[in-house]
Amino acid sequence: MEQKVSTMATSTPFAGPLQVDAWRLTEQALTPAQPLLCETLLSLANGYIGTRGTLEEGLAGQSSCEGTYLNGVYSSEPIQYGESACGFARNNHTMLQVANGKRIYCELDGERVELSGALEHQRSLDMRQGVLQRQWQWQSKSGKRLLISSQRLVSMQHPELLCIAYQVTALNFSGEIAICSELDACYAPFSKKDDPRVGVFSIADTLNLQQQGFAAQQGWMLHQVHGSDFAVCAMMQHAWPAVANNISQLQLKPGVLCEQALWSLQQGESASLTKWVLYRHQSVADTTDLVQRCALQLAELSQHSFASLAAQQASACQQFWQQADVQIEGDAAMQQGIRFNLFSLWQSAGKDGRSNIGAKGLTGPGYDGHYFWDTEIYVIPCLSFTQPAVARQLLGFRYQQLDAARQRAREMAHSTGALYPWRTIGGEECSAYFPAGTAQYHINAAIAYAIRCYYLASDDWHFMREQGIEMLVETARLWLQLGCFNPRRDGAFEIHGVTGPDEYTAIVNNNFYTNAMAQLHLRFAVEMAQKLQAEASEQLERWQLSAQELALWQQAAERMYLPVDARLGVHPQDDSFLDKKRWDFAATPNDKYPLLLHYHPLVIYRHQVLKQADVVLAMVLLDDAFSPVQKARNLAYYEPLTTHDSSLSACIHSIACAELGQLAEAHAFFGDSARMDLDNQHGNTEHGVHIACMAGTWQALVFGFAGLRSRYDGLHFAPRLPAQLPGLNFRLNYRGRVIEFRVQQGQAQYQLLTGEPLVIFHDGEALQLALQQPRQRPLLAGEAV
Ligand code: BGC
């Protein structure tokens, strides 16, 4: 068999720029080769504001990607097609990039204090504190030295607030120093036009300045957002201790405000300031008093010192870790990886029901900040068990966009139902390349899957009644619009002209994953609709959902076309996949990966080659619908064909391997996922972290090694640990309870920490769990099949 040269499942040495540490991300010296990477990794966010870990002083002359983003807020502009056609996505949304409020720098004897004069530099993000700290020394041309330190936080408590404490100490001289603090809406754009995964992010193109000024110690700017209905206000306020003199407020140019103070320092003395920056957005129609409201809010928030905001932040972090932490024994690098992943998910996830979580979170310009199925298949399953309230908000966001999805279905000639966009921010389809965009109808099934996942974990019937079932019904309707009962295949229900998760194959008939997920979707929709009907609800009438329609869905699910290839004994990825030539991996040099950057799509589409898990993903998500033998055959067939060029893939193969007891392979895939961003394994973390992969890492531990499956009758565990992971410990939120899972010395221990007693299953055996009465069972052996 040909040799696949894959970047994945190779135990990589830890090549990242940050030190390995269980709780901290520390950069010991500036890494000039990788400034962009560290900017991403040291990002701070709270679900609304996200800001990259760029330096307060900026990086003069070096490549840097400045970025502060507001989640759920976007600019919109028409997509330019050389050749357009009916139904093509019309506009692209771009996550809003706002004025940079982080900029602070000093001047000494007319010389600007820049990183080029740094003697040493260290920065560190402690994930228990949620504060980014920097300390560095600078020397002027004449030998005067300064010690500069800063602390920065994006408040979890106050979603509109960013705060910085900045301090400068004169180490070996006495003299005058100026500190300048800016609000800058004119910073340089970042773009990489040859890479389809990166957007062009230019702040100047997206914000039209309406007003700017200083009033009562506050500097502010009001912008209207290009092509959209948003106005955004950015405002800064400072506290300069009394020793500062000559404070001046300057408008350097339209879009740049500066406040400057002069200090006379004796040797050993420090100058310091606190800077509060507030961001808010509003519909344009409603901006009359936006600036006044921001001014009042900022005046109030600036009553909190940096220390008191930092204390609030630490307590929010503590609560978060109490729910979500995962402990791994014996591997500090993996421990750091999983914590960083969980922390990043928490930081970037929208928490207000009006925003979601982008493929790159709030950490960079990748994919224009768009939301994909990544949320529903990767993030929501993790959040349903760790932060159910946030999972609920993310689903609520999709409900907000249901009308837009209905409209999109009409545009695509479907007379009923709703079709969610493959990629979007505001609800409109933004995918300019439809074969790997709009054609991915499985987005509808992903939303249904996430609703099911959240419901099984939370038992939140109120959500189902108010929002969940309506989304299920409207999205289920699409399958009947899309598919047909094929008389040439004995009336099997088939779905044609779609693209599955694997984007190296496009527009096919009967993508196995899509058909299998549509089946799950239809069955669940019928079940939930019937449950609602039993409450004598009038909702079904409102949705004009008849018994006949439900029967048709049931029929389509029963007759869903899910073939097994008689010769190979595997599920064909689609009708034509197995007939194609296999990709020649032996003749593909390592530097030709990812294939999408080196080969025309048609070249790729003609071959048996996968970008990411497809049939294997269906096996993982659909749990016991397939036998272990069938799962093993599919994995053995598709794994050698999978490049894992998508970061969404390795974690899924880890789960598939773990379930089959292939623990060494499972561990290698887990390792690739756990540190994908810290070690920049895909070479593009500088554009933002890989959110789906981060949540997938949690899934690899919990669904993979602990073998958790959430079924109607409860939680089923089948824990098998690889030799490299002797211990694993995590908590699950489950239907109002907290359950702790812990592996120690070859035993799995289950303990109910809060809530009513319940029954869980260990390798099929029912275990009664009562408060604080741990139950132990031996781990399962490897190689289950
Ligand atoms: C993957 C998609 C994913 C998108 C955003 C693409 O490379 O193929 O499955 O949704 O990235 O993460």
pLDDT in tens, 674-701: 999 999 999 999 999 999 999 999 999 9
Pocket of ligand 1 contains residue 611 by CB under 6 Å: yes
pLDDT confidence band for 286 (50 / 70 / 90): confident
Per-residue pLDDT at 14: 57
- Helix pair 650-659, 628-638: axis angle to 10 deg: 140
The minimum-distance atom of ligand 1 relative to the CA of 440 is 9
Instruction: Using the predicted structure, report yes or no on whether residue 202 has a pLDDT greater than 80.
Output: no
Closest CA to 613 of 601, 622, 624: 622
Is the Cα torsion angle 361, 363, 364, 365 positive or negative in sign? positive
Residue 48: pLDDT band by 50, 70, 90 thresholds? very high
**CATH classification for the domain delimited by 66-318, as one of 2.70.98.40, 3.10.105.10, 3.40.710.10, 3.40.50.2300:** 2.70.98.40
Residue 336 belongs to what H/E stretch?
helix 332-348
Ligand 1 centroid to residue 595 C-alpha, Å:
14
Write out the DSSP string of 651-677.
HHHHHHHHHTT-HHHHHHHHHHHHTTT
**What fold is seen in the domain 387-643?**
Glycosyltransferase (1.50.10)
The DSSP bridge partners found for residue 170 are 146
Average pLDDT over residues 416-440: 98
783 band by pLDDT with thresholds 50, 70 and 90: low
Contact between 623 and 709 (Cβ < 8 Å): yes
Ligand 1 atom nearest the C-alpha of 502 is 8
The Cα–Cα gap between 443 and 445 comes to 5
Whether the predicted pLDDT of 201 surpasses 90: no
If one residue of 95, 370, 371, 374 were mutated to test the ligand 1 pocket, choosing by the most ligand atoms within 8 A of its CB, it would be 374
**Are 94 and 206 spatial neighbours (Cβ–Cβ below 8 Å)?**
yes
Tokens of 575: 């009708």
CA distance 611 to 588: 15
Rounded Cα distance between 713 and 692, Å, is 28
- Give 125's contacts (C-beta < 8 A, 6+ positions apart): 24, 25, 26, 42, 44, 53, 131, 132, 133
**117-121, 405-409, 748-752: least confidently modelled range:** 117-121
Mean per-residue pLDDT of the chain: 94
Task: Give the per-residue pLDDT at 537.
Answer: 80
Query: In the numeric block, which tokens belong to residue 206?
Result: 């997206």
Measured CA to CA, the distance from residue 516 to residue 782 in angstroms comes to 28
Distance of CA 273 to the CA centre of its chain: 34
Predicted pLDDT of residue 781: 87
Burial zone of 373 (CB within 10 Å; 0-12 exposed, 13-18 middle, 19+ buried): buried
| Gap from CA of 489 to ligand 1 centroid (Å) | 33
pLDDT band at residue 104 under the 50/70/90 scheme: very high
What are the DSSP calls for 13-49, one per residue?
A: ----SSPP-SSEEEESS--TT-HHHHHHHT-EE-SSE
Read off the pLDDT band of 196 (50, 70, 90): low
Confidence check: pLDDT of 62 > 50 = yes
Q: Best substitution site from 95, 503, 517 to test ligand 1's pocket, by max atoms within 8 Å of Cβ?
A: 503
- Ligand 1 centroid to Cα of residue 423, in Å, is 10
**What pLDDT does 772 receive?**
85
pLDDT class of 8 with cuts at 50, 70, 90:
very low
Residue stretches of the annotated binding site:
373-374, 611-612
At position 217, the amino acid (one-letter code) is Q
Q: What are phi and psi of 597, to 5 degrees?
A: -90, -5
| 130 dihedral zone (left: phi>0; alpha: psi -120 to 50; beta) | left
Nearest CA to ligand 1 atom 6: 646
Looking from the CA of residue 646, the nearest atom of ligand 1 is 7
What are the beta bridge partners of residue 371?
424
pLDDT of 7 over the 50 cut? no
Backbone angles phi, psi at 368, to 5 degrees: 60, 15
Determine the residue type at 576. Answer: S
Give the residue-averaged pLDDT of 393-420. Answer: 98
Catalytic residues: 503
pLDDT at 224 over 90: yes
If we measure between CA atoms, which residue out of 364, 420, 477, 444 comes closest to residue 45? 364
Q: Is 692 in the pocket of ligand 1 (CB under 6 A)?
A: yes
| Confidence label for 660 from pLDDT (cuts 50, 70 and 90) | very high
Q: How far is CA 195 from CA 80, 88, 365, 366, 447, in A?
A: 17, 21, 12, 10, 28
Q: Is the predicted pLDDT of residue 785 greater than 60, yes or no?
A: no
pLDDT range class, residue 32, cuts 50, 70, 90? low
Q: What is the atom index within ligand 1 of the atom nearest the CA of 611? A: 8
In this prediction, residue 117 has a pLDDT band, given cuts at 50, 70 and 90, of confident
**Residue 199 confidence (pLDDT):** 63
Q: Which two tokens stand for residue 135?
A: 């300390």
How much is the pTM? 0.96
Determine if ligand 1 sits within 6 Å of the CB of residue 376. Answer: no
Burial (CB < 10 A; 0-12, 13-18, 19+), residue 70, is buried
Res 12: pLDDT: 47
Phi and psi at residue 733, to the nearest 5°: -85, 125
Smallest CA separation from ligand 1 atom 5, residue: 359
Instruction: Point out which residues pair with 104 in neighbouring strands.
Output: 181
Q: Which residue is closest in CA terms to ligand 1's atom 7?
A: 646
Distance 102 CA to ligand 1 centre (A): 31
Q: Which residues contact 711 (CB under 8 A, 6 or more apart)?
A: 456, 623, 624
Beta carbons within 8 Å of 336's beta carbon, 6+ residues apart: 20, 21, 22, 23, 25, 675, 678
Give the pLDDT of residue 205.
Answer: 78
Ligand 1 centre to CA of 222 (Å) is 35
Grade residue 285 by pLDDT with cuts at 50, 70 and 90: confident
Q: What is the pLDDT of residue 33?
A: 64
In contact, 63 and 52? CB cutoff 8 Å: no
- Sign, CA dihedral 205-206-208-211, equals negative
pLDDT surpassing 90 at residue 1: no
- List, by residue range, all CATH 2.70.98.40 domains of the chain: 66-318
pLDDT tens-digit map of 137-190: 999 999 999 999 999 999 999 999 999 999 999 999 999 999 999 999 998 877
Nearest to 16 by CA among 534, 645, 686, 567: 686
Please tell me the predicted confidence (pLDDT) of residue 9.
47
**What's the per-residue H, E or C state across 591-658?**
HHCCHHHCCCHHHHHCEECECCCCHHHHHHHCHHHCCHHHHHHHHHHHHHHECCCCCCCHHHHHHHHH
Give the residue range(s) of CATH 1.50.10.10 domains in the chain.
387-643
Per-residue pLDDT at 221 exceeds 50: yes
Tell me, in angstroms, the distance from the centre of ligand 1 to residue 686's CA. 17
3-state secondary structure of 163: strand
Question: Given strand 230-239, what is the order of strands in its sheet?
Answer: 24-27, 118-126, 131-139, 145-154, 161-170, 270-283, 230-239, 218-225, 207-215
Work out whether strand 758-762 and strand 714-717 pair parallel, antiparallel, or are unpaired.
parallel
> Could you identify the atom of ligand 1 that is nearest to the CA of residue 374?
10
- The SS3 assignment for 119 reads strand
Share of the chain above pLDDT 90, in %: 89
Task: Grade residue 722 by pLDDT with cuts at 50, 70 and 90.
Answer: very high
Helix (H, G, I), strand (E, B) or coil at 415: coil
d(CA 780, CA 751): 19
User: How far is residue 472's CA from residue 464's CA, in Å, rounded to a whole number?
Assistant: 9
Amino acid sitting at position 67:
G
For residue 476, CA distances in Å to 300, 515, 521, 522, 675 come to 48, 12, 7, 6, 37
Residue nearest to atom 12 of ligand 1 (CA): 359
